[in-house]
Amino acid sequence: MRPQNIKTRIFLDSGDPQETKQVLSALGFLDGQTTNPSLIAKNPELKNKLSNGERLSSEDINNFYKGVVQEISRMIPQGSVSVEVYADAETPVEEMLVQAREMNTWIPNAHIKLPITASGLEAAHILTSEGMRVNMTLCFSQQQAAAVYVATRGVKKGDVFLSPFIGRLDDQGENGMSFIENVHAMFAKSDGHVELLAASVRTYEHFEYCLKLGVDLVTAPAKILLQWAEHAMEVPSDGYMYDKGIMKDLLYEDVVLDKKWGEYDIHHDLTDAGLAKFVADWNSLISK
Ligand code: G3P
């Protein structure tokens, strides 16, 4: 069962329903699950089909994704399941809208993942005004976080998640956890309608520090959640210190939350690289 003294909701980051089952049984609860094209590409059943020489069209892969998401949704009907649109840095808003509306019919408990590009923000603005729930992904700067906040202003709490990525900042020597601290601090002064979902969690220490900070949500791979179960779902004490090693902290920027969303500088190289990777992983599944 969920520990009493925990503020953060716990999500599994995986495209494999077998892991949902395993983590649910180890923890006794799960608040949600996040998926993305790269995680679906790692699904063992799909990998098996491909290694057996099955030829799959883009429609087949999409249907497979739908089946996976439906299976996960049935296991955590009270939770949230994030489903990501297929998009690159150039994908126009209309294309995102079509995909998002379709994916949102797959399950009753979806958050639709959209990238933080100009089109993604516009799509989020339109879709949330229609009552759809979104998870804005590949976030690497406070400017991007602020743009998401403004583009969805007025939307009810619970309908908008923001996914700052920790591990990919660490990869380039920047302390991803300092970025989480900064977004957490920036949103502490906000109306709270955007919830911070810490993502790209690679280590048990990332996970622990997210709990210590009390971020709204954290999504972590099965391996880390199972490790947490082995540690009796401990919550770090007040004295917990995160060791950033030799990484450089990202400095807190005083970003105001009352500009127009188009006025924020939303470009980040890691967002572009992340989109390119999702597209490449997805396209690698499609038979030529
Ligand atoms: O939640 C996003 C996550 O799946 C990305 O993780 O390890 O590919 O940076 P990673």
Decide if pLDDT at 288 tops 90.
no
Ligand 1 in reach of 43 Cβ (< 6 A): no
Q: Is residue 115 part of a domain?
A: yes
User: Which sequence positions are flagged as catalytic?
Assistant: 113
Decide if pLDDT at 1 tops 90.
no
Ligand 1 in reach of 13 Cβ (< 6 A): yes
For residue 277, which atom of ligand 1 is closest to its CA? Answer: 8
Residue pLDDT, tens place only, 61-87:
999 999 999 999 999 999 999 999 999
Ligand 1 in reach of 165 Cβ (< 6 A): yes
Ligand 1 centroid to Cα of residue 232, in Å, is: 25
Q: Is residue 95 part of a domain?
A: yes
Q: Is residue 183 part of a domain?
A: yes
Residue pLDDT, tens place only, 89-139:
999 999 999 999 999 999 999 999 999 999 999 999 999 999 999 999 999
What average pLDDT does the chain have? 97
Residue pLDDT, tens place only, 206-228:
999 999 999 999 999 999 999 99
Ligand 1 in reach of 42 Cβ (< 6 A): no
Instruction: Say how many domains are in the chain.
Output: 1
The alpha carbons of the chain give a radius of gyration, in whole angstroms, of 18
Q: Is residue 2 part of a domain?
A: no
Q: Supply the range of the domain harboring residue 105.
A: 9-283
Q: pTM for the whole thing? A: 0.98
Q: By alpha-carbon position, which residue is closest to atom 7 of ligand 1?
A: 200
Q: Is residue 201 part of a domain?
A: yes
Ligand 1 in reach of 33 Cβ (< 6 A): no
Residue pLDDT, tens place only, 176-206:
999 999 999 999 999 999 999 999 999 999 9
Decide if pLDDT at 165 tops 90.
yes
Residue among 111, 166, 168, 215 to mutate when testing ligand 1 (max atoms within 8 A of CB): 168
For residue 219, which atom of ligand 1 is closest to its CA? Answer: 1
Q: Is residue 3 part of a domain?
A: no
Structure-block tokens of residue 217 = 């949500």
Ligand 1 in reach of 92 Cβ (< 6 A): no
Q: Is residue 274 part of a domain?
A: yes
Q: By alpha-carbon position, which residue is closest to atom 6 of ligand 1?
A: 200
Q: By alpha-carbon position, which residue is closest to atom 3 of ligand 1?
A: 200
Ligand 1 centroid to Cα of residue 30, in Å, is: 18
Residue among 13, 16, 137, 177 to mutate when testing ligand 1 (max atoms within 8 A of CB): 13
CATH of the domain at 103: 3.20.20.70
Ligand 1 in reach of 212 Cβ (< 6 A): no
Q: Is residue 4 part of a domain?
A: no
For residue 166, which atom of ligand 1 is closest to its CA? Answer: 9
Decide if pLDDT at 41 tops 90.
yes
Question: Distance between CA atoms of 288 and 285, rounded to whole angstroms?
Answer: 9
